């Protein structure tokens, strides 16, 4: 039995990528997201950690990447989030088709199993991205890059999991994490949590015979779900641990605090607190304009900057 309060939906999704410039150009100049934080991987300070989000950098819109310019490409497969789907308002697909065409990004348009209008494309590292028109998105828009609120990405729509054990993954979502199954055609099972709707959907895709994924550029490293605060995360930690899963202590990530655990199908999950958020150490208008280091790495700034590759942000800031 899940404790109250419930999880609030997707907090962020983190992937590996190659060239940081190509990554920034795609997520900002094609998808119209805002570069809301430039920091480094706290567990590997020679690597950037880039955050993209809506104009306010809200949880539920945060896609983050670890760029490894010389890294090999990964292979998507079992044990990973396979597709990252964004939500756009009803009627916005015409705009997005035109924008993708103008920017030379190949895509296909179709209806998915749940009869939603989907544009399918890949990011520069080959990761599967979808733009989905959703009638079930109660979020306000915080558009960026000159996009209108009537077309801009609202945040995530869903994430599709390629579980190695779909049945166990489904039971873990419902019985341990408190998700609700809302659709099941034998191949796709959709779940929602909290208030439900876009931004809370998780799809489990059952494709027998697939291979396990291999981590590398173009693959998702983990998906995080939102909690209100540390106490709620701690309560969930105990529930997950009581369910027999290894779970980390709460880890300080500056912009949120996190616990990590692997679900039964092999996908790495995280719970991340909404507070303090992206404005923890930069004012809203300056998000993503400076290389932010955690206090414990500030004294190594020169050394860290000397190994980070260069890229230019959409607002013209040259990093590092």
Asked if 68 and 89 touch (Cβ cutoff 8 Å), the reply is: no
Verify binding: residue 14, Zn ion, rule CB under 5 A. Answer: yes
Verify binding: residue 224, Zn ion, rule CB under 5 A. Answer: yes
Verify binding: residue 65, Zn ion, rule CB under 5 A. Answer: no
Using alpha carbons, list the distances in angstroms from residue 262 to 68, 70, 150, 248, 315: 24, 28, 37, 10, 37
- Specify the stretch interacting with Zn ion by CB under 5 A; choose among 6-14, 98-106, 108-116, 209-217: 6-14
Toward Zn ion, which CB reaches closer, 14 or 117?
A: 14
Toward Zn ion, which CB reaches closer, 13 or 56?
A: 13
Nearest approach, Cβ of residue 66 and Zn ion (Å)? 10
- Specify the stretch interacting with Zn ion by CB under 5 A; choose among 8-16, 53-61, 91-99, 138-146: 8-16
- Specify the stretch interacting with Zn ion by CB under 5 A; choose among 9-17, 103-111, 146-154, 289-297: 9-17
Toward Zn ion, which CB reaches closer, 27 or 96?
A: 27
Toward Zn ion, which CB reaches closer, 14 or 200?
A: 14
Number of Cβ atoms within 10 Å of the Cβ of 4: 8
CA separation for the pair 76, 82 (Å, rounded): 6
CA separation for the pair 197, 175 (Å, rounded): 19
DSSP labels, 148-196: -TTTS--EEEEEEEE-SSHHHHHHIIIIIT--EEEEE-SSEEEEE-TT-
Toward Zn ion, which CB reaches closer, 114 or 251?
A: 251
- Specify the stretch interacting with Zn ion by CB under 5 A; choose among 82-90, 269-277, 280-288, 297-305: 269-277
| From candidates 116, 123, 203, 270, binder to Zn ion by CB under 5 A | 270
Asked if 192 and 180 touch (Cβ cutoff 8 Å), the reply is: yes
Verify binding: residue 116, Zn ion, rule CB under 5 A. Answer: no
Verify binding: residue 261, Zn ion, rule CB under 5 A. Answer: no
Residues near Zn ion (CB under 5 A) are: 14, 224, 270
């Amino acid at each position: 039995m899940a404790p109250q309060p419930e999880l609030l939906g997707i907090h962020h999704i983190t992937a590996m990528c190659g060239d940081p410039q190509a990554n920034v150009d795609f997520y900002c100049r094609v998808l119209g997201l805002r570069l809301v934080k430039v920091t480094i991987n706290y567990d590997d300070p020679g690597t950037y950690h880039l955050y993209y989000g809506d104009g306010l950098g809200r949880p539920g819109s945060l896609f983050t990447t670890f760029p490894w310019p010389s890294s090999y490409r990964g292979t998507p497969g079992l044990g990973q989030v396979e597709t990252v789907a964004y939500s756009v308002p009803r009627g916005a697909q015409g705009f997005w088709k035109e924008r993708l065409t103008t920017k030379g990004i190949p895509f296909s348009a179709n209806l998915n199993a749940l009869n939603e209008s989907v544009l399918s494309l890949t990011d520069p590292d080959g990761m599967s991205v979808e733009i989905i028109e959703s009638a079930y998105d109660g979020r306000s828009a915080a558009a960026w890059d000159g996009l209108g609120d009537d077309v801009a990405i609202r945040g995530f729509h869903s994430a599709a999991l390629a579980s190695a054990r779909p049945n166990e993954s489904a039971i873990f979502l419902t019985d341990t994490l408190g998700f609700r199954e809302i659709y099941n055609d034998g191949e796709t099972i959709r779940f929602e949590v909290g208030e439900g709707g876009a931004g809370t959907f998780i799809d489990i895709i059952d494709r027998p015979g697939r291979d396990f994924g291999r981590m590398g550029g173009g693959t998702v490293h983990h998906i995080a779900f939102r909690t209100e605060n540390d106490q709620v995360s701690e309560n969930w930690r105990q529930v997950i641990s009581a369910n027999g899963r290894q779970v980390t202590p709460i880890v300080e990530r500056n912009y949120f605090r996190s616990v990590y655990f692997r679900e039964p199908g092999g996908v790495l999950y995280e719970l991340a607190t909404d507070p303090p958020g992206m404005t923890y150490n930069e004012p809203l208008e300056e998000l993503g304009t400076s290389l932010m280091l955690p206090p414990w790495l500030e004294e190594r700034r020169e050394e860290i900057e000397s190994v980070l590759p260069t890229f230019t942000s959409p607002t013209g800031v040259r990093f590092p």
